Amino acid sequence: MHDRHVHSVFCLHGSGRRTEDILLERIEAGASRVTFTEHAPLPPGFDDPSPLRDSSMAMEKLMEYRAEILELRARYAGKCDVRCGLEVDYIEGYEEPIRQFLDQYGELFEDSLLSVHFLHGSCVDFSPEEFERLLSEQYQGDLEALYRDYYRVVALAARWDGGAHKPRRFGHLDLVKKFRDQFPLESDKANALAIAILPDIAAGGMGIEVNTGGLKKPCREIYPAQPVLEAAKALGIALSYGSDTH
Ligand SMILES: [Zn+2]
Ligand SMILES: [Zn+2]
């Protein structure tokens, strides 16, 4: 099994475990290949909206992170094939600095994810309180409008010209459902909104991941939901597996 979405000690909102302990846990879970995909530094000028300012690693840590993963790759050769990647944020309005970052550093990271965590400068997955604030401030409480807007941004990300090192697959495609226990939108409706942008993903040559991290989140469901996965498969969109272990 190849787990292609794993975080490290460089994640500020993670468990704080050593990267090697996280790797050992993934090997124990049956992974013969592990791709570390730490949250890439946010683009200059973008203020981390998470109240704890812990969304991603600082730019100064980037090479230290890479060095640690390469060290583990060497140490575990023959036992587990360790790869080094990033989880890169697509943030509407910051395409230029994100592309500059990828142009400069992308080739050092062989297998990365593109994720949408931010909408209108807010974090959709930080907490129910932050989600509620976004919902009322930007969408007048209209949950379907928020979902629709989330997928509008994902579609933009899919078609974005991010250069030669743009990640080729999306992380947790329907992350916007994370707090659906408190902010429920009918599943069929929510899934239809995700399915509607799959052609953009196919057109952008992007894959998506089957992210089991969602099972432990308030939504208690994989990202993306099964009907979305089925529709993606029918369109020939490549699927990868990721535990999103932190
Ligand atoms: Zn994370
Ligand atoms: Zn993520």
196 CA to middle of ligand 1, Å? 26
163 CA to middle of ligand 1, Å? 24
**Whole-angstrom Cα distance, residue 186 to residue 193?**
11
Residue 189 corresponds to which tokens in the numbers above?
């409706």
| pTM as predicted | 0.96
Instruction: Split the chain (246 residues) into runs of 10 and give each run's mean pLDDT.
Output: 97 94 98 98 94 93 98 98 98 98 98 97 96 98 98 98 98 98 97 98 98 96 98 98 97
pLDDT at 51: 86
11 CA to middle of ligand 1, Å? 7
37 CA to middle of ligand 2, Å? 9
User: What φ, ψ does residue 86 adopt, rounded to 5°?
Assistant: -140, 155
Domain boundaries, the chain: 2-242
User: What φ, ψ does residue 47 adopt, rounded to 5°?
Assistant: -85, 125
38 CA to middle of ligand 2, Å? 9
Q: Looking at domain 2-242, which of 3.10.20.30, 3.40.50.150, 3.20.20.140, 3.20.20.80 is its CATH number?
A: 3.20.20.140
